[in-house]
Structure 1
Amino acid sequence: MDATDASEDKGTAGAVPASVEAAWGLRPRPQKGPRRGLTLDGIVAAAVAVADAEGLEAASMGRVAKELGVSTMALYRYVATKDELVTLMVDGAFGPPPPLPEDAADDWRAGLRHWYQAIGTAMFAHPWAVAHVPSGGPPVTPNQLAALDQALYILRDTPLTEFEKVATALLVSNQVRAEVTIALTMGGNPDMEQLMNEYSHFLLRVSDAGRLPHLRTAVEGGAFDEPDVQPPQNPSDYDEFAFGLERVLDGIEALIDSRRAG
């Protein structure tokens, strides 16, 4: 099936935006444009650069067109809506998954740990993109599907079913997204230490006289002290996230062990 046939495939009509199909090479890209050299990749790269420097709101269609020296209407030959552009921006910002290190290629737990850290590193580098990572539907863009493919490779020798492998990848990716969201929210608030202190004091007040005894024990034990949630500079600097990730991996390991025992 050639590119023209793919673009008319009834199975994909409406399910995947035309710009995403173009990113995959599944439909012809505009051959005649207002400026020679204008490409979908170039549009996405320019939009990502603006969002990285000034935030997603600044990356309007008009602003991106201005950065490229073309009219706003010229962009609509490549992307139909701002939402489509954001979808491609997220994919372009995160990029393809980095290669697995040798010590993680044949160890599913080490492999998923590396995979998790790579996703987290990309999210911290482009915080505007975190809220726009697809969560209500399956991934469709090239780099996101490449990341999913890598996760399935990591799990290839486990006894999990194919459905369970995909579900495991989604579980781990959702875990890192949640952790990064919390870190960006808390780490980006200069008043967070004061807010956490005030919250802890509030909890002590409402848990006096024997009320909420277990919550009071947690507060007195430092459970609500402000954690170090600054974005890590290296993939190994994920100490604050280790607890959640390792518990997720423990659950996956228990399932794998039960499959092997059965």
Structure 2
Amino acid sequence: MAESGDTGLTPGLEAAWGLRERPAKGPRPGLSVHRIVEAAVAVAASEGLPAVSMGRVAKELGASTMSLYRYVASKDELYVLMQDAAIGSPPDPPPPGTGWREALARWTWAQREMFRRNLWVLHVPVSGPPVTPNSVAWWEAGMAAMEATPLDEGAKISVVLLLGGFVRNETRIMADILAAAAATGDAPEQVMGRYARALRLLADPERYPSVARAVAAGIMDGPDDPDHEFRFGLERLLDGVQVLVERLDG
């Protein structure tokens, strides 16, 4: 393990790795990085990420705003630590003998479920590669799923990034649809139904023939399986990875 001061990380991120437990000077008794992050996550979970500020978190903890800065350097750093706390540890490795494709599928589905439990995490800006314990653990788990393949390390990272981006995009779209439904008091099916009815009126078959055919076929009303789009997209992505694996195996 790297010694504190050798990592290039801020004190708050070093604390997340267990390299630093207290600020350099002037700690307030009872405060810790863990308590600050826990309070911030509670605010985000109940009111959304925009409600989180250093002042708001300090109020929740009964502390001054400035005292928090002895533990967490900035709100951006707090966001990173909150995200790490929310995503938690990746799932246990699959049973021995599990193929790479099934292992990657399990990893991807688990990541989707994690985001769906913590939708506010999708609004945390991505500021760089993973630098926190749990994010690196998820990265490790994704790459380990491909250990038996002929992919080199660069290709494995690319696959992890591809699948991770797919999960974030699909989950955020669904979260936006749910938010729109909640704002109107309607079920998601009703929101999609209104959209389909509008398209039936707007999509002139002469100008938008492909869209008009899809609307007429009932596609825009939404599939019976709410996981259909995610399953379809994941399978197609894994098909692409399989082509690469088979090419290298050949």
Q: Counterpart of 1:158? A: 149
5+ long unaligned stretches in structure 2:
none
User: For the residues of structure 2 that align with 1:28 and 1:148, how far apart are their CA atoms?
Assistant: 25
State the one-letter code of the partner of 2:137.
Answer: A
State the 4+ residue runs in structure 1 displaced beyond 6 angstroms: none
User: For the residues of structure 1 that align with 2:108 and 2:76, how far apart are their CA atoms?
Assistant: 26
What secondary structure sits across from 1:98 in the alignment?
Answer: coil
Alignment partner for residue 88 of structure 1, among 59, 64, 81?
81
Q: In 2 relative to 1, CA 210–38 (structure 1 residues): closer, same or farther, beyond 3 Å?
A: same
Q: Counterpart of 1:137? A: 128
C-alpha contact 1:90 1:133 (8 A) present in aligned 2 = no
Q: In 2 relative to 1, CA 57–213 (structure 1 residues): closer, same or farther, beyond 3 Å?
A: closer
Greater Cα shift, 186-195 or 50-59: 186-195
Greater Cα shift, 220-229 or 65-74: 220-229
1:227: Cα distance to partner?
A: 4.7
State the one-letter code of the partner of 1:143.
Answer: N
- Tell me, yes or no, if structure 1 residue 107 matches structure 2 residue 96: no
1:204: Cα distance to partner?
A: 3.4
State the one-letter code of the partner of 2:219.
Answer: A
State the one-letter code of the partner of 2:136.
Answer: L
State the one-letter code of the partner of 1:119.
Answer: Q
Q: In 2 relative to 1, CA 159–83 (structure 1 residues): closer, same or farther, beyond 3 Å?
A: same
User: For the residues of structure 2 that align with 1:54 and 1:227, how far apart are their CA atoms?
Assistant: 31
Give the aligned CA root-mean-square deviation in angstroms.
2.5
Q: Counterpart of 1:241? A: 230
What secondary structure sits across from 2:71 in the alignment?
Answer: coil
1:26: Cα distance to partner?
A: 4.3
1:239: Cα distance to partner?
A: 4.2
Q: Counterpart of 1:234? A: none
User: For the residues of structure 2 that align with 1:163 and 1:128, how far apart are their CA atoms?
Assistant: 30
Q: Counterpart of 1:235? A: none
- Tell me, yes or no, if structure 1 residue 54 matches structure 2 residue 39: no
Greater Cα shift, 58-67 or 156-165: 58-67
Q: 1:59-103 deviations in whole A, cap 9, x for unaligned?
A: 221221222222111110011111110111011111111212326
What secondary structure sits across from 2:6 in the alignment?
Answer: helix
% identical equivalent positions: 45
1:4: Cα distance to partner?
A: 4.5
State the one-letter code of the partner of 1:167.
Answer: S
Q: In 2 relative to 1, CA 197–239 (structure 1 residues): closer, same or farther, beyond 3 Å?
A: closer
Alignment partner for residue 217 of structure 1, among 199, 213, 216?
213
User: For the residues of structure 1 that align with 2:238 and 2:103, how far apart are their CA atoms?
Assistant: 11
Aligned positions of 1:106-125 closer than 5 A: 106-125=98-117
What secondary structure sits across from 2:28 in the alignment?
Answer: coil
1:109: Cα distance to partner?
A: 1.1
C-alpha contact 1:30 1:78 (8 A) present in aligned 2 = yes
Q: In 2 relative to 1, CA 207–49 (structure 1 residues): closer, same or farther, beyond 3 Å?
A: closer
5+ long unaligned stretches in structure 1:
231-237
Greater Cα shift, 206-215 or 88-97: 206-215
What secondary structure sits across from 2:219 in the alignment?
Answer: coil
What secondary structure sits across from 1:6 in the alignment?
Answer: coil
Q: Counterpart of 1:233? A: none
Aligned positions of 1:1-262 closer than 5 A: 3-6=3-6, 12=8, 16-26=9-19, 29-30=22-23, 32-102=25-95, 106-132=98-124, 134=126, 137-190=128-181, 191=186, 193=189, 195-208=191-204, 210-227=206-223, 238-261=227-250
After TM superposition, the score normalised by the length of structure 2 is 0.86
Q: In 2 relative to 1, CA 22–216 (structure 1 residues): closer, same or farther, beyond 3 Å?
A: same
State the one-letter code of the partner of 2:155.
Answer: E
User: For the residues of structure 2 that align with 1:76 and 1:107, how far apart are their CA atoms?
Assistant: 47
1:40: Cα distance to partner?
A: 0.9
Q: In 2 relative to 1, CA 30–69 (structure 1 residues): closer, same or farther, beyond 3 Å?
A: same
C-alpha contact 1:4 1:28 (8 A) present in aligned 2 = no
